[in-house]
Structure 1
Amino acid sequence: MVAEPRTPCRTPAKDRDGVTNIPTWKFDLLRGHILDIVGAAGPDGFPMAELSAAIAPRLTDDETARLGKLGWHMMAVKLEMEVAGDLARMPKVTPQRLVLPASA
């Protein structure tokens, strides 16, 4: 049996080592939805707390069943996207809002 390709997900938090490896299909699926949702929000950003709820209706029943815990996987992908520079938190805004880097 061939091992399923995996994508490493890092965290931007200082003093936190370690990498979580998730199946690449999950990473790519969630990354695409995050980019669409946050990109559509424009310069005002998208509330991080609403991200899982915004992704859920975009998933097919099969994707939902295969994905497992949406919130956990979404957070791993979101954090990796921050480290990679594909996503940014709006500075000095609470609660957390997400933007694409060109808007940050």
Structure 2
Amino acid sequence: MKSEQIQTLHPHEGKTNKRISLEKYLIVKENILSILSEAQLTHTELMERLYENIKDTFEGGIQWYGETVKLDLEARAIIERTGSKPEKYRLLKDIQE
């Protein structure tokens, strides 16, 4: 039986993102939000922390899923880039919602 899928969004108009496993999406999303609830991080820092958090239990390309879900969260205005140098990511919405 095929797993349930989610169509992810892309923050740049005209670009489309991927359909991925809802189960994998939720794992990566939960971890990204948890990581960003503690600190604003650069892209590299965020992806390294995500990898460390799920490398022992996640099946698939963590960097690829991380990037796909990060873009989706940006498109949904849940996280944003700070615009600083170096650019960092931060939560826009309270993750307790």
TM-score for the superposition, normalised by structure 1 = 0.80
2: distance between equivalents of 1:60 and 1:49?
16
Q: Which residue in the other structure is 1:46 paired with?
A: 41
**Rg: which structure is higher?**
1
Amino acid at match of 2:19: N
Cα pair 1:12 1:82 within 8 Å, conserved: yes
2: distance between equivalents of 1:11 and 1:22?
13
Cα pair 2:47 2:63 within 8 Å, conserved: yes
1:94 and 1:34, CA in 2 relative to 1: closer, same or farther beyond 3 A? same
Q: Which residue in the other structure is 2:65 paired with?
A: 73
Give 1:27 shift. 0.5
Unaligned 5+ segments in structure 1 are none
Amino acid at match of 1:56: Y
Number of residue equivalences: 94
Secondary structure at 1:61's aligned position in 2?
coil
Amino acid at match of 1:54: R
TM-score for the superposition, normalised by structure 2 = 0.85
Identity of aligned residues (%): 20
Calculate the aligned-residue CA RMSD, in Å: 1.8
Q: Which residue in the other structure is 1:56 paired with?
A: 51
Secondary structure at 2:89's aligned position in 1?
strand
Secondary structure at 2:6's aligned position in 1?
strand
- Give the number of the structure whose residues are more often helix, by fraction: 1
